[in-house]
Amino acid sequence: MEGPREECMIKKRLFSVIYMFILTFFFTAVVTGIHKLNRERITINEEIKLQRIILKVLGVQVPPEITALRIRQMFKQRVKVEEREGRTLYRGFTEDRKALIGYAFPLFGPGFWGPIYGIMAIDPKMESVLGIAFYRHNETPGLGGRITEEWFERQFAGKRLIPRGKERKYFSLVPPGMAQVDNELDAITGATGTSRGVERLVNESLRDYLPWIAGDNVEGRIDGGLHEG
């Protein structure tokens, strides 16, 4: 009596498992196929997005309605990319490609919820900031997410790069309205974690990149980088 019934149950369960397996296999295959077909396009889109940001922080005027192709051309014309020792440096040039307008380098570090990615540009003498932009993060919209707002990014522009204090901080984020020294900037109210993260990743990136870029300068390998004389 029990035998056939149990057998039937086992068959049903087995069918469920096989059915689910086949279905999952089928849908995964379809999704993978579509992903593969579009992967190149998506990579190019992201590349162009980054190129637009690099041009922007270097102070190159990029009209908002410009086509993707034009951005690639512009980037190729005005920016030289150098990847060495695990670091990436973008050198921005004037339109006639003769004089250096600044250096840009990536910013990366933990925020409150996840990693924050950004780009910072400094002038050829490495004395002040040209611009900064954060382009990928998982911070709370309306709180930490405000790091991408213009008022926050604009605070950095034109600030001098002088390490201060015991910790050799280039920038400190302090509660809004409390800034006294030139390198103290407004933090974001309600997003202390994000503000601390940004402060840390900006300072660490500067401490890491400035000597590295300067090393290049001393060796005289960068054209247009020696303006002092």
Residues in contact with other proteins by the rule CB under 8 A: 12, 15-16, 19-20, 23-24, 27-28, 30-31, 34-35, 38, 41-42, 45-46, 49, 142
At residue 166, the 3 state secondary structure works out as coil
Q: At closest approach, how far in Å is the CB of 173 from other proteins?
A: 24
CB of 35 to other proteins, least distance (A): 6
- Return the axis-axis angle of helices 68-78 and 2-57, rounded to nearest 10°: 50
Instruction: In angstroms, give the least distance from the CB of 48 to other proteins.
Output: 8
**Which CB sits closer to other proteins, 105 or 134?**
134
CA atoms within 13 A on the CB side of 9: 4
Closest to other proteins by CB, 38 vs 94, is: 38
Q: Cβ of residue 197: shortest distance to other proteins, in angstroms?
A: 20
**Are 194 and 111 contacting, i.e. CB atoms less than 8 angstroms apart?**
yes
CA distance 229 to 227: 6
Handedness of CA 151, 54, 71, 39 (dihedral sign): negative
Helix/strand/coil (H/E/C) assignment for every residue in 91-116? EEECCCCCCEEEEEEEEEEECCCCEE
> CA-CA distance, 60 to 29, in Å (whole number)?
44
CB of 189 to other proteins, least distance (A): 16
